[in-house]
């Protein structure tokens, strides 16, 4: 059942929120042992919150557009009094004294958080295998990864543990797992959703976004979390457009560009075939489809792997054992720092901190970080040129369907390539959505990505809804 | 100091802004509160927290830039990365190559202009207290950190290496402090650390290229600044003259020992890995905002010195003290009300300076009256001081005070008679005076004073004595 209809039932008093929550908690209880989508299930708090929603309905009040809807929260979103681990040992024992803005907003809209979902440590990874607490498995095939870094949130929605989930997307961490798990996932325009309370990985790229089983549910959730927040200086101070209203408007007359640089060799043929099929479906619905070149997209991956690590090397400096989280004592402060960070961080996090530290070092800054920022500027320019002729762009979300656990853990570069199609939108700050569109040769879900210009969420949702309507049957479950 | 060497000094001054709240959060900006009480997720750098810039802090920083004749520009923040326990995020948010205020100057009382390279915004760190024998990091058992100061807004004012003597350096800091206080941006309290000075010192042959500099930290007063520069100059000259070389390094001033010691060399210097702070947006002050800052700026010390000097017919350097003591408006007003300028300046610098609290309530017209009575010869210098003291204490009318005290000038005939009597009583002394022994005059003045009950004007008596000697010769 969709989040929208669940909320309608709860608001109308046809169903109690407690009943909804109990049903989902039972599903988690029964199924999450095999999936490991959750790091922590906050059952008691969820039931109490659901009871409060029911009480408001009974009192004739409106608990909000997400009344009684269960929601799963990626564990890099701060939750007051509830451990927020970022799937890292270094935050051992830390309980935030505050809620992230998005958490406050979904709760204010009546949603009921069920718990915190697994992720690659500090959101660094594409398979959720970099979690300090063990990997999450793909509900469509538990021998395969759910993608990452928001693998827990994607799996939670795919396994119907929750109809909605929140994730964060720095280089594809919502869209890629959404594609691999066969759910809708999107990264909004940078600044549309407040980052306050999202534990930072790469601040200029991070953005929170929704996972849902349907495009309408994703639009509803985005409508709730979007909008200006005075606590985030980079948040847009502009009204949120009517996203739900966009869904029924069709794509007649829209110009859709297939991005040449995000297709070709690196994309598995079965996935590429689905992208072509999606383009045909849009054309059949009245869109004008053509190929387009965004030349600087070729430099996106390498630029990203300088900018994101550079920012992460600074953002993760604070985990030093002085104030909170893990502390491994030493003879002096330097030794304490070293031992704490050695014990607290996993291999991928350390790799990126080292990469970033190097990229920012005196004498190297211009050749690495500086050059990457110039490539970023070029990319934004090339996107702008493409959007002069096209309303949206289309590509695969991920190069392949879900791969087996362990397949890429020994080869970081091949893992990094999982995000080749999603990274450009982060660098540009643009919105992009992944919509399930049939399956690959292996019967596993394929996602098609819709890219739009900054604040182009309305046109992005029009196309996403059309793709959803035209999609071939998904992976069965 | 050896005549062959010239000291080159450039000062970096950190000034805490006196905003109500911190630079990036709503915590109180206050000195001396219970440790770790003015803290929140933002200034503690908790995961997920984000900074939001305090507009008032920008306003104060712009006032400082304006007062220092800087160009106020679009600016951005950078992160300065280094590990230190008093920095909650292990980076400091500061301005790097695009600061708010650039290319200004400051005028010393003697008219010298000292260049200001930049005045940029940044956040303060917490305070670490090393608990142990020495109080310094070496030999400490453990450390305590107070984050109340973390995130307090600072402006760092980087002066150009235009200063040449410890006196110049002291004058610069004194003047800068006065400007900061005048703008309302800072309370300028060095003793509470709201004003902190680091000195870059090098020596060179006059006219030659700059020598290698050392940066001296831990200068907690204007006096330490002068002493440290003196010491460091001597140290560097001794090194060079004995065939050694100066190593670029940061040195710590030890007030008790009166010397500087090495903290870290250039080789050990941190690589701060600056990069633009992605959590903040650029500061791009509109022309309207800049104009509002300009128009809200009070008259600054240099201009006040100029105004008083013009009114008093003297030089700005001569009236620096009066401006420093905030007596310049009173003196200017008194001069406008008819006080003889020289007299008003002297009486203010000597008598009023002794009781600044009372001077603040002194009516300039009454002060002018006292000065005029003295200039007219209606009061002797001694009497004028007494009258002024009473006017200061009670606010009474000077004419009435003089009247009550019986301070009436002796008529010149009476004074002549008193002088003649004194001469008659001491013919031997008079002979010596006639022979050119000037110091004897003092004895005659004293006798006349005694005879007139202190009402005689010493200067008038001396004049009569001189006149009599001339006519006798």
pLDDT in tens, A165-204: 999 999 999 999 999 999 999 999 999 999 999 999 999 9
Closest CB from A91, A94, A314 relative to B79: A314
Catalytic residue at A149?
Answer: yes
User: Kind and range of the H or E element at A150?
Assistant: none
Closest CB from B91, B278, B279 relative to A317: B91
| Partners of residue B150 in chain A, C-beta under 8 Å | none
CA distances (Å), origin A96, targets A82, A199, A231, B87 = 7, 11, 16, 19
Q: Is B218 left (phi over 0), alpha (psi -120 to 50) or beta?
A: left
* Confidence at residue B99, expressed as pLDDT on a 0 to 100 scale: 98
Q: Up-side HSE of residue A359: CA atoms within 13 Å toward CB?
A: 26
CB contact under 8 A, A196 and B48: yes
Quote the DSSP letter at residue A61: -
Interchain contact A367–B (C-beta under 8 A) = no
Cα B164 from chain centroid (whole Å): 18
Catalytic residue at A303?
Answer: no
Torsions phi, psi of B72, nearest 5? -95, 120
Pick the catalytic residue: A74, A116, A187, A408? A74
Cα A448 from chain centroid (whole Å): 15
Distance from CA of B77 to the nearest CA of A (A): 13
Interchain contact A331–B (C-beta under 8 A) = no
| Partners of residue B88 in chain A, C-beta under 8 Å | 318, 323
What is the count of residue pairs from A and B with beta carbons less than 8 Å apart?
A: 95
For A44, other C-beta atoms within 10 Å of its C-beta total 8
Asked whether the beta carbons of A145 and A138 are under 8 A apart, the reply is: yes
* Confidence at residue A49, expressed as pLDDT on a 0 to 100 scale: 98
* Confidence at residue B135, expressed as pLDDT on a 0 to 100 scale: 55
User: Kind and range of the H or E element at A401?
Assistant: none
Strand ordering across the sheet containing A432-439: A38-41, A112-117, A70-74, A164-168, A208-212, A184-187, A432-439, A445-451, A392-396, A255-259, A288-292
Q: What is the pTM of this model?
A: 0.90
Distance from CA of B50 to the nearest CA of A (A): 6
| Partners of residue B274 in chain A, C-beta under 8 Å | 360
CB contact under 8 A, A360 and B81: yes
CB contact under 8 A, B41 and A360: no
Catalytic residue at A187?
Answer: no
Pick the catalytic residue: A127, A173, A194, A418? A173
Torsions phi, psi of A211, nearest 5? -115, 140
Closest CB from B52, B85, B274 relative to A333: B85
Q: Looking at chain B, which residue has its C-alpha nearest residue A197?
A: B48
* Confidence at residue A69, expressed as pLDDT on a 0 to 100 scale: 98
Quote the DSSP letter at residue A248: G
Q: Is A200 left (phi over 0), alpha (psi -120 to 50) or beta?
A: beta
Question: What is the 3-state secondary structure of chain B?
Answer: CCCCCEEEEEEEEEEECCCCECCCCCCECCCCCCCCCCCCCCCCCCCCCCCCCCHHHHHHHHHHHHHCCCEECCECCEEEECCCCCCCCCEEEECCCCCCEEEEEEECCCCCEEEEEEEEEEECCCEEEEEECCCCCCCEEEEEEEHHHCCCEEEEEEECCCECCHHHHHHHHHHHHHHHHHHCCCCCCHHHCCEEEEEEEEEECCCCCCCCCEEEEEECCHHHHHHHHHHHHHHHHHHHHCCCCCCCEEEEEECCCCEEEEEEEHHHCCCCCCEECCCCCCECCCHHHHHHHHHHCCCCHHHHHHHHHHHHCCCHHHHHHHHHCCCHHHHHHHHHCCCCHHHHHHHHHHCHHHHHHHHCCCCHHHHHHHHHHHHCCCCCHHHHHHHHHHHHHHCCCHHHHHHHCCCCCCCHHHHHHHHHHHHHHCHHHHHHHHCCCCCHHHHHHHHHHHHCCCCCCHHHHHHHHHHHHHHHC
Instruction: Compute the distance between CA of residue A277 and CA of residue A264 in angstroms, rounded to an integer.
Output: 15
| Partners of residue A324 in chain B, C-beta under 8 Å | 46
Q: Where are the domains of chain A?
A: 1-477
Q: Looking at chain B, which residue has its C-alpha nearest residue A199?
A: B48
CB contact under 8 A, B81 and A199: no
**What ipTM goes with this model?**
0.96
CB contact under 8 A, B47 and A361: no
CB contact under 8 A, B81 and A100: no
Beta bridge mates, B14: B156, B196
Closest CB from B45, B50, B88 relative to A233: B50
Give Cβ neighbours of residue B453 (< 8 Å, ≥ 6 apart): none
pLDDT in 10s for each residue of chain A, 477 residues: 899 999 999 999 999 999 999 999 999 999 999 999 999 999 999 999 999 999 999 999 999 999 999 999 999 999 999 999 999 999 999 999 999 999 999 999 999 999 999 999 999 999 999 999 999 999 999 999 999 999 999 999 999 999 999 999 999 999 999 999 999 999 999 999 999 999 999 999 999 999 999 999 999 999 999 999 999 999 999 899 999 999 999 999 999 999 999 998 889 999 999 999 999 999 999 999 999 999 999 999 999 999 999 999 999 999 999 999 999 999 999 999 999 999 999 999 999 999 999 999 988 999 999 999 999 999 999 999 999 999 999 999 999 999 999 999 999 888 999 999 999 999 999 999 999 999 999 999 999 999 999 999 999 999 999 999 999 988 764
* Confidence at residue B1, expressed as pLDDT on a 0 to 100 scale: 46
Q: Which of the residues A73, A99, A196, A208 would you substitute to probe the B interface, choosing the one with the greatest number of B C-beta atoms within 10 Å? A: A196
Distance from CA of B137 to the nearest CA of A (A): 10
| Partners of residue A85 in chain B, C-beta under 8 Å | none
Walking along chain B (473 residues) 10 residues at a time, the average pLDDT comes out as 83 97 97 95 98 98 98 98 95 97 96 97 93 61 90 98 96 96 94 93 94 94 95 96 93 94 78 96 96 95 94 90 92 93 92 90 93 87 90 90 82 81 89 88 87 79 87 72
* Confidence at residue B264, expressed as pLDDT on a 0 to 100 scale: 78
Note which residues in 195-224 of chain A have CB less than 8 A from chain B: 195-200, 202-204
CB contact under 8 A, B50 and A337: no
* Confidence at residue B134, expressed as pLDDT on a 0 to 100 scale: 59
Cα B461 from chain centroid (whole Å): 42
CB contact under 8 A, A360 and B50: no
Count, residues in chain A: 477
Which fold, A1-477?
Amidase signature (AS) enzymes (3.90.1300)
Closest CB from A77, A86, A314 relative to B81: A314
Q: Looking at chain A, which residue has its C-alpha nearest residue B269?
A: A362
CB contact under 8 A, B273 and A362: yes
Asked whether the beta carbons of A189 and A226 are under 8 A apart, the reply is: no
Distance from CA of A334 to the nearest CA of B (A): 9
CB contact under 8 A, A333 and B279: no
* Confidence at residue B267, expressed as pLDDT on a 0 to 100 scale: 65
Instruction: Compute the distance between CA of residue A105 and CA of residue A102 in angstroms, rounded to an integer.
Output: 5
Which residues of chain B have a Cβ shorter than 8 Å from any chain A Cβ? 41, 44-53, 79, 81, 83, 85, 88-91, 143, 145, 271, 273-275, 278-281
């Amino acid at each position: 059942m969709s989040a929208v209809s669940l909320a309608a039932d709860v608001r109308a008093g046809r169903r109690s929120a407690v009943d909804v929550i109990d049903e989902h908690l039972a599903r988690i209880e029964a199924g999450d042992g095999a999936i490991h989508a959750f790091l922590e299930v906050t059952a008691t708090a969820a039931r109490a919150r659901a009871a409060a929603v029911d009480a408001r309905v009974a009192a004739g009040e409106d608990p909000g557009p997400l009344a009684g809807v269960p929601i799963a929260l990626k564990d890099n979103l701060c939750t007051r009094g509830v451990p927020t681990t970022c799937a890292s040992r270094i935050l051992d024992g830390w309980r935030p004294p505050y809620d992230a803005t998005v958490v406050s907003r979904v709760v204010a809209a009546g949603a009921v958080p069920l718990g915190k979902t697994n992720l690659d440590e500090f959101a660094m990874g594409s398979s959720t295998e970099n979690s300090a607490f063990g990997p999450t498995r793909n509900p469509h095939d538990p021998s395969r990864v759910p993608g990452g870094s928001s693998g827990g949130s994607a799996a939670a929605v795919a396994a119907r543990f929750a109809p909605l989930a929140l994730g964060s997307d720095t280089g594809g961490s919502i869209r890629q797992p959404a594609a691999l798990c066969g759910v809708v996932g999107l990264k909004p325009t940078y600044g549309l959703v407040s980052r306050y309370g999202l534990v930072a990985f790469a601040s200029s790229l991070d953005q929170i976004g929704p996972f849902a089983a349907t495009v309408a549910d994703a639009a509803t959730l985005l409508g709730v979390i979007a909008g200006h927040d005075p606590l985030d200086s980079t948040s847009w101070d502009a009204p949120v457009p009517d996203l739900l209203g966009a869904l029924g408007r069709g794509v007649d007359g829209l110009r859709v560009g297939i991005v040449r640089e995000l297709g070709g060799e690196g994309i598995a043929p079965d996935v590429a075939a689905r992208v072509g099929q999606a383009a045909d479906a849009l054309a059949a619905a009245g869109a004008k489809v053509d190929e387009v070149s965004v030349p600087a997209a070729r430099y996106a991956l390498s630029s990203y792997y300088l900018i994101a690590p550079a920012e992460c090397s600074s953002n993760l400096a604070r985990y030093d054992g002085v104030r909170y989280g893990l502390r491994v004592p030493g003879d002096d402060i330097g030794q304490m720092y070293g031992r704490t960070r050695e014990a607290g961080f996993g291999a991928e996090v350390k790799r990126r901190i080292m990469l970033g530290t190097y990229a920012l070092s005196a004498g190297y800054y211009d050749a690495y970080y500086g050059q990457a920022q110039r490539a970023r500027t070029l990319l934004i320019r090339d996107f702008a040129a493409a959007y002069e002729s096209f309303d949206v762009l289309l590509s695969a979300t991920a190069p392949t369907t879900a791969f087996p656990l362990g397949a890429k853990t020994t080869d970081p570069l091949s893992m990094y390539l999982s995000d080749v199609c999603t990274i450009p939108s982060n660098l540009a700050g643009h919105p992009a959505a992944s919509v399930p569109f049939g399956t690959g040769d292996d019967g596993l879900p394929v996602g098609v990505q819709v890219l739009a210009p900054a604040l182009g969420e309305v046109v992005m949702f029009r196309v996403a809804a059309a793709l959803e309507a035209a999609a071939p049957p998904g992976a069965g479950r | 100091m050896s005549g062959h060497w010239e000291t080159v000094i450039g000062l970096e001054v950190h000034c805490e802004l006196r905003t109500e709240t911190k630079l990036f959060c709503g915590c109180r900006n206050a000195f001396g509160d219970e440790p770790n009480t003015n803290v929140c997720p933002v200034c503690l750098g908790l995961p997920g927290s984000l900074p939001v810039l305090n507009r008032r802090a920008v306003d104060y920083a712009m006032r400082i830039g304006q007062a220092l004749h800087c160009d106020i520009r679009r600016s951005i923040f950078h992160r300065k990365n280094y590990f230190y326990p008093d920095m909650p995020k292990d980076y400091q948010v500061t301005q790097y190559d695009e600061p708010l205020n650039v290319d200004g100057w400051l005028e010393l009382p003697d008219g010298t202009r000292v260049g200001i390279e930049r005045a940029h915004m940044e956040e303060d760190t917490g305070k670490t207290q090393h608990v142990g024998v020495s109080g310094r990091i070496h030999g400490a058992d453990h450390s305590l950190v107070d984050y109340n100061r973390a995130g307090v807004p600072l402006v760092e004012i980087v002066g150009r290496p235009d200063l040449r003597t410890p006196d110049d350096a002291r004058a610069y800091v004194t003047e800068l402090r006065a400007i900061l206080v005048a703008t309302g941006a800072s309370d300028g309290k060095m003793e509470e650390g709201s004003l902190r000075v680091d000195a870059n010192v090098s020596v060179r042959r006059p006219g030659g290229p700059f020598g290698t500099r050392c940066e001296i930290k831990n200068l907690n007063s204007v006096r330490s600044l002068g002493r440290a520069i003196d010491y460091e100059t001597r140290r560097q000259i001794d090194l060079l003259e004995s065939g050694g070389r100066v190593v670029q390094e940061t040195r710590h001033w030890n007030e008790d020992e009166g010397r500087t010691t090495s903290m870290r060399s250039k080789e050990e210097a941190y690589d701060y890995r600056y990069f633009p702070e992605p959590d903040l947006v650029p500061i791009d002050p509109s022309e309207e905002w800049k104009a509002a800052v300009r128009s809200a700026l009070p008259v600054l010390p240099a201009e006040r010195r100029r105004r008083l000097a013009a009114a008093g017919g003297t030089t700005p350097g001569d009236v620096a003290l009066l401006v420093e003591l905030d007596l310049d408006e009173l003196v200017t007003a008194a001069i406008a009300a008819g006080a003889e300028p020289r007299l008003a300046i002297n009486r203010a610098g000597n008598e009023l300076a002794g009781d600044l609290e009372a001077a603040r309530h002194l009516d300039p017209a009454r002060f002018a009256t006292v000065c005029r009575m003295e200039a007219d010869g209606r009061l002797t210098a001694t009497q004028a001081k007494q009258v002024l003291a009473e006017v200061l204490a009670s606010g009474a009318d000077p004419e009435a005070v003089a009247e009550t005290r019986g301070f009436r000038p002796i008529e010149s005939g009476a004074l002549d008679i008193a002088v003649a009597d004194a001469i008659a009583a001491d013919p031997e002394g008079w002979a010596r005076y006639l022979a050119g022994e000037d110091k004897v005059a003092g004895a005659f003045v004293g006798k006349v004073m005694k005879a007139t009950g202190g009402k005689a004007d010493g200067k008038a008596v001396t004049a009569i004595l001189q006149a009599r000697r001339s006519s006798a010769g």
